[in-house]
């Protein structure tokens, strides 16, 4: 029972980190002086496909967070059992990321 909650917690952290990496790939590149000098075209918009992939990763991370939270709450049988702070932190960060994504990229997602 404890290992299941720990595995889900690690999975939630890994999925959240993966969402950040994909979001970084989806962002438009920085235009620098070399781009201006060479006159090359630089795409200035967000990559919609990667934004959708990031949203799916966030949904999976949110599911892993809530599952880890449920596992942790089911374990609370003795007075010495405590709620893991890591589960609460990643759940809060994932919910904030989910709300941020829904507000800022609603036109791409829905």
pLDDT at 108: 78
The model's pLDDT over 65-100, given as tens digits with 9 standing for 90+, comes to 999 888 888 877 777 667 778 888 999 999 998 898
Directed axis angle between helix 48-74 and helix 2-26, to 10°?
160
pLDDT at 96: 93
The residue with greater pLDDT, 72 or 16, is 16
pLDDT at 1: 47
Give me the number of domains the chain comprises: 1
Mean pLDDT confidence for 46-74: 89
Is there a contact between 52 and 108 (Cβ–Cβ < 8 Å)? yes
Question: Residue 66 is part of which domain span?
Answer: 2-109
- Distances in Å between the Cα of 27 and the Cα atoms of 11, 54, 66, 90, 109 are 24, 11, 28, 23, 16
Residues 6+ apart with CB under 8 A from 94: 12, 16, 58, 61, 62, 65
Residue at token pair 């949110």: 62
């Amino acid at each position: 029972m404890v290992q299941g909650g720990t595995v889900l917690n690690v999975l939630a952290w890994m999925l959240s980190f993966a969402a950040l990496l994909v979001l970084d790939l989806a962002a438009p590149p920085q235009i620098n002086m070399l781009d201006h000098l060479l006159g090359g075209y630089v795409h200035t918009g967000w990559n919609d496909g990667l934004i959708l992939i990031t949203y799916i990763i966030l949904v999976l991370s949110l599911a892993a967070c809530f599952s880890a939270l449920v596992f942790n709450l089911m374990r609370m049988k003795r007075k010495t059992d405590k709620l893991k702070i890591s589960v609460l932190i990643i759940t809060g960060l994932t919910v904030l990321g989910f709300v941020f994504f829904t507000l800022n990229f609603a036109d791409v997602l829905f």
